């Protein structure tokens, strides 16, 4: 290994890295191009909605409460934390878990050169993320505050300055994170339980926060801006080091420029603001220098060792003694499928963690929706709302079935050579997904049912409602699972990584999600609307407000038809379609 450091090597490595990422432009068909444009438009729309949300939030804080600096501190903290999370993930993926590390080590380049070339990419990535996250936040703040042109210059400066801190913190965090990742390798159940708890906690916190915001928006009683809350915001803003320095830099810059622009500008105010701004700049520079130095020392010291350790433990595995005994074919297939899901962090998160967390998520989602919905339009929307929320979570869970063939990867040939019919193999997969989703739905209904049929929950649901919601949801579990498997049989993508896992979710997952969400919205709206309005066809009254029985029957009939159609679509002519799958 060459020891000296050469910027020429860094340049070559960086160019190589960029070329491997963006070098090959695929020739797209017209349809693919249209889809690509549609995707970009979708991203722009989603981004636009987020920016609008930021503007709205800024207006609430700044215009209604006058907490402009506090708002700036809070959002700066939030955006920098978000940028730090993204940067940490980028650093781990690109620096430590990058598949080309082993290959690069064979070249006559030093570990330092590899580190620097990859760090340049990580920093640029981080800069773009910071610009995308922070710039709209500052711009919307500026619009709300009716900022001057010089303020916007300050915003750009502060965003550029802000891009260093997340990057340095990410580099420091990445090392222990990698050590933890290496330590929990093969502790699948532990990681799964931990993941479920994290997912639930994050979701609950999110919904509680959202609930508070919505409560404020709804009745404008300023519960979020009560005296106690405002004091808390101030306290937080005062203690949010080092993020408050960034916000205060912008604030004092603005004060200084605005004061200067006045005809009767006060030199004292201007000087004080300039001094404070300079002080903040010094703080920011100092903390960046310190963290940058710490990051450089830790990373340069640990990087080479960590990637070598990663390469050495790439094949780290566990040992497990099992009994050699005969099991039924179905049992063997079922066990194998389940083991492969459980032993993959990605798969168990996508499937088992979501299925396990769904009851908690549905309950809290329902509680929020119930509070907001029942207060504005009445308790009658609850059955429809519950149904919609459950179907959305079913969709997330069963969409995993749309990779059931693709996930076989290089071992797909195995499903062809074993003396088990394709139908049986697909039935087993179908059953596994259906069983897990069924348990998840049952728990969702049980939890929501127990609470919302009780006095405490306001008796907004009846036992009939809960039973019907379970029945309809179950029919949809089976239908959506069938549809997901059909899509994967039709166009599987065996794009697996070195450890045999799918590189990314394929288009079938997106398709399954879209179908499920459309069904959820359609069913939810149908149930909500016709619990208020009478449903008549000609002169025949099908359903009257407040009587959901016929609505449930209609939805159950629709779901039944969907189930018959999807199951037929899955199993009719399955052998021929399966045989024609060629990896």
Binding site for another protein (CB under 8 A): 186, 315-322, 324-329, 331-333, 335-336, 339-340, 343-344, 409-411, 413-414, 416-421, 499-500, 579-580, 582
The number of angstroms, rounded, from the C-alpha of 474 to the middle of its chain's C-alpha atoms is 26
93 versus 416: smaller Cβ distance to another protein: 416
The number of angstroms, rounded, from the C-alpha of 500 to the middle of its chain's C-alpha atoms is 23
Beta bridge partners, 496, equal 502
Query: Got the DSSP string for 188-203?
Result: HHHHHHHHHHHHHHHH
* CB neighbourhood size of 380 (10 A): 18
344 versus 473: smaller Cβ distance to another protein: 344
The number of angstroms, rounded, from the C-alpha of 131 to the middle of its chain's C-alpha atoms is 20
At residue 536, φ and ψ (nearest 5 deg) are -130, 145
At residue 535, φ and ψ (nearest 5 deg) are -105, 115
Smallest gap from residue 308 Cβ to another protein (A): 18
Q: Could you tell me the two tokens for 530? A: 């016709």
Smallest gap from residue 292 Cβ to another protein (A): 38
Smallest gap from residue 497 Cβ to another protein (A): 11
121 versus 494: smaller Cβ distance to another protein: 494
396 versus 489: smaller Cβ distance to another protein: 489
Smallest gap from residue 499 Cβ to another protein (A): 6
Smallest gap from residue 578 Cβ to another protein (A): 10
Helical residues (DSSP H) of 399-421, grouped into ranges: 412-417
Those residues with Cβ within 8 angstroms of residue 425's Cβ, 6 or more apart along the chain or in another chain: 333, 415, 418
Q: Could you tell me the two tokens for 5? A: 């450091």
Beta bridge partners, 543, equal 535
Smallest gap from residue 420 Cβ to another protein (A): 6
47 versus 413: smaller Cβ distance to another protein: 413
Cβ 399 vs Cβ 477: under 8 Å: no
Cβ 341 vs Cβ 347: under 8 Å: yes
Smallest gap from residue 27 Cβ to another protein (A): 16
350 versus 453: smaller Cβ distance to another protein: 350
Smallest gap from residue 352 Cβ to another protein (A): 15
* Short-list 344, 350, 391, 74, CA closest to 186: 344
Report the distance separating Cα 367 and Cα 373, nearest Å.
10
227 versus 498: smaller Cβ distance to another protein: 498
106 versus 325: smaller Cβ distance to another protein: 325
Q: In terms of C-beta distances under 8 Å and separation of at least 24 residues, what long-range contacts does 242-245 make, across chains too?
A: 242/165, 242/283, 242/284, 242/287, 243/73, 243/76, 243/77, 243/80, 244/73, 244/76, 244/77, 245/280, 245/283, 245/284, 245/287
Smallest gap from residue 437 Cβ to another protein (A): 23
57 versus 333: smaller Cβ distance to another protein: 333
400 versus 552: smaller Cβ distance to another protein: 400
Smallest gap from residue 492 Cβ to another protein (A): 14
């Amino acid at each position: 290994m060459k020891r000296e450091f050469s910027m020429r090597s860094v340049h070559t490595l960086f160019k190589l890295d960029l070329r491997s990422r963006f070098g090959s432009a695929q020739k797209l068909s017209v349809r693919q191009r249209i889809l690509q444009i549609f995707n970009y438009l979708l991203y722009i729309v989603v981004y636009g909605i987020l920016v609008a949300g930021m503007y709205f939030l800024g207006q609430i804080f700044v215009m209604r409460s006058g907490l402009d600096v506090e708002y700036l501190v809070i959002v700066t903290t939030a955006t920098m934390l978000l940028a730090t999370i993204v940067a940490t993930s980028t650093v781990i993926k690109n620096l430590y878990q990058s598949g080309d590390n082993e290959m690069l080590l064979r070249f006559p380049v030093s570990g330092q050169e590899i580190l620097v070339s990859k760090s340049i990419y990580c920093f640029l990535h981080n800069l773009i993320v910071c610009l995308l996250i922070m710039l709209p936040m500052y711009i919307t703040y500026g619009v709300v505050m009716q900022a001057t042109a010089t303020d916007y210059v300050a915003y750009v400066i502060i965003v550029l300055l802000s891009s260093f801190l997340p990057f340095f913190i990410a580099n420091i965090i990445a090392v222990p994170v990698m050590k933890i990742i290496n330590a929990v390798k093969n502790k699948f159940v532990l990681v799964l339980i931990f993941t479920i708890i994290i997912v639930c906690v994050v979701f609950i916190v999110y919904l509680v926060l959202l609930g508070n915001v919505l409560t404020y928006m709804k009745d404008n009683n300023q519960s979020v801006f009560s005296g106690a809350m405002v004091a808390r915001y101030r306290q937080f803003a005062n203690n949010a080091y080092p993020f408050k320095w960034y916000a205060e830099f912008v604030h004092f810059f603005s004060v200084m420029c605005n004061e200067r622009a006045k005809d009767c500008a006060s030199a004292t105010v201007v000087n004080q603001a300039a001094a404070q701004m300079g002080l903040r700049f010094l703080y920011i520079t100092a903390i960046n220098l310190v963290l940058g130095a710490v990051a450089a020392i830790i990373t340069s010291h640990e990087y080479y060792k960590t990637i070598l350790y990663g390469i050495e433990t790439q094949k780290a595995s566990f040992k497990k003694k099992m009994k050699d005994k005969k099991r039924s074919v179905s049992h063997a297939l079922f066990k194998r499928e389940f083991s492969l899901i459980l032993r993959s962090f990605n798969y168990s998160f996508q499937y088992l963690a979501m299925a396990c967390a769904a009851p908690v998520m549905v309950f809290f989602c329902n509680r929020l929706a119930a509070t907001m919905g029942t207060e504005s339009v009445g308790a009658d929307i609850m059955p429809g709302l519950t149904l919609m929320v459950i179907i959305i979570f079913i969709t997330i869970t069963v969409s995993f079935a749309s990779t059931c063939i693709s996930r076989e990867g290089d071992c797909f040939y195995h499903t062809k050579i074993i003396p088990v019919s394709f139908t049986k193999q697909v039935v087993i997969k179908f059953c596994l997904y259906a069983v897990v989703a069924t348990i998840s739905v049952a728990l969702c209904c049980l939890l929501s049912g127990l609470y919302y049929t009780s006095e405490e929950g306001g008796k907004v649901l009846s036992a009939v409602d809960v039973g019907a919601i379970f029945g309809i949801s179950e029919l949809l579990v089976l239908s959506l699972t069938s549809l997901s498997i059909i899509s994967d049989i039709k166009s599987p993508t065996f794009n697996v990584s070195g450890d045999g896992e799918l590189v990314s979710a394929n288009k079938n997952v997106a398709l399954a999600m879209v179908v499920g969400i459309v069904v959820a919205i359609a069913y939810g709206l149908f149930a909500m609307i016709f619990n208020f309005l009478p449903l008549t066809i000609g002169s025949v009254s099908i359903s009257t407000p407040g009587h959901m029985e016929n609505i449930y029957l209609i939805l159950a009939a629709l779901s039944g038809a969907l189930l018959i159609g999807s199951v037929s679509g899955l199993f009719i002519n399955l052998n021929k379609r399966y045989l024609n799958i060629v990896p």
